[in-house]
Amino acid sequence: MTTPQDIIRRDVLAMTSYPVPDATGYIKLDAMENPFLLPPALAAKLGEHLAAVALNRYPAPRPEALIDKIKRVMGVPAGCDVLLGNGSDEIIAMVSIACAQPGAKVLAPMPGFVMYQMSAKLANLEFVGVPLNADFTLDTEAMLAAIAEHQPAIVYLAYPNNPTGTMFDDADMERIIAAANKSLVVIDEAYQPFAQQSWLPRAGAYDNVVVMRTVSKLGLAGIRLGYLVGKAAWLTEFDKVRPPYNTNVLTQAAADFLLDHIEVLDAQAALLREERTKLAQAVAALPGAEVFPSAGNFLLVRVPDASVLFETLLTARVLIKNVSKMHPLLANCVRLTVGSAEENAQLIAALKLVLH
């Protein structure tokens, strides 16, 4: 009898699935989600809009009206096109598959978003991780040396970085882009609503740069929509490996409707930026807590014992992310999503159970 062990790739057999803990009954502060619902009146109108969607028809493979609206609302520069994905994760996978020539490599600073490495592995690309400095800034000289040595097909630069929250220096990124003249540089702006700085206006100024975004952190994580911005020469090729109906009709309709009400989501992001400042000050005042600067909707915090903190918060029904085992630079670090004022108050109360 044939078993999975006979057929499945050995490296896949050795992997574990991406962990998503059950958050039922918890204050959920582990996944960098926007904690706010839509205003009831707007949610009702969205419901009416979605009720008119033809669920019996396949979605448009390339919904031009939605793409044009994204270009207009998000300020996509002239000369750039937009490619849609089922979240940023699918875009990363498409880029990996399209660039997976024999011997090709992917390079990114570490610690960074885990999907860069995971998608590279699944596409049989070699992944090269370049450690950040101890303060989580780019080690630019190490990045330049690694690019010269490995000549990667893809270089990822998250702006700001996850899980550290760091905004990499623009001048350092310019040097890396210039050195990576045989690479595609993907600038990941998943947390742009909280950073308020962007490379998107410059996306068309480089032959080897594309900018990736998602609406997840803007408050729409549930609809799973990411988009890639860059010159058509790149996006045309990536489109060839895109599943034909990768963004469903409800996702397209919801995005189309809510982009007409972007001011609601922008106001929520502004509120979260204010809460981030308050939360960072409150956590930094606790004994033994080191809070790192963050331009995302989360804080990276080093504590005396990340495992004890994580487990104690679980007993208080508060779910955070223990990132202490992800990379040596993250020793005893946890990542706290910025929640509502009420959620943050309960988080602080739970943190005081350990940090006192």
Residue 49 lies in a domain: no
Domain that residue 93 falls in: 58-260
Is the domain of 82 the same as that of 217?
yes
Is the domain of 198 the same as that of 330?
no
Which pLDDT value is given to residue 230? 97
Which of 97-127 are b and which e, b meaning 16 or more Cβ less than 10 Å from the residue's Cβ?
Answer: bbbbeeebbbbbbbbbbebbbbbbbbbebeb
Which pLDDT value is given to residue 201? 95
Is the domain of 253 the same as that of 269?
no
Burial of residue 49 (number of CB atoms within 10 Å: 0-12, 13-18, 19+): middle
Which pLDDT value is given to residue 19? 78
CATH of the domain at 300: 3.90.1150.10
Is the domain of 166 the same as that of 243?
yes
DSSP string, 101-166: -TT-EEEEEES--HHHHHHHHHTT-EEEEEEPPTTS---HHHHHHHHHHH--SEEEEESS-TTT--
Strand order in the sheet with 321-322: 290-291, 298-302, 333-337, 321-322
- CA-nearest of 227, 234, 116 to 184 is 234
Is the domain of 254 the same as that of 302?
no
Mean pLDDT in consecutive groups of 10 residues from the start of the chain, 356 residues: 92 86 90 95 97 96 96 96 97 98 97 97 97 98 98 98 97 98 98 95 95 94 96 97 96 97 96 98 98 98 97 96 97 98 97 93
Is the domain of 9 the same as that of 139?
no
Is the domain of 147 the same as that of 229?
yes
Residue 51 lies in a domain: no
Domain count along the chain: 2
Q: Which of 260, 289, 306 is the last residue of a domain?
A: 260
Residue 69 lies in a domain: yes
Is the domain of 107 the same as that of 170?
yes
CATH of the domain at 140: 3.40.640.10
Residue 304 lies in a domain: yes
Which of 285-318 are b and which e, b meaning 16 or more Cβ less than 10 Å from the residue's Cβ?
Answer: ebeebebbebbbbbbbbbbeebeebbebbeebeb
Which pLDDT value is given to residue 16? 85
Which pLDDT value is given to residue 23? 84
The answer to whether 335 touches 320, Cβ cutoff 8 Å, is yes
> 112 to each of 126, 195, 225, 340, how far by Cα in Å?
16, 17, 21, 26
Which pLDDT value is given to residue 21? 83
Give the separation between CA 23 and CA 18, rounded to whole angstroms.
Answer: 15
Give the separation between CA 184 and CA 349, rounded to whole angstroms.
Answer: 45
Predicted model pTM:
0.95
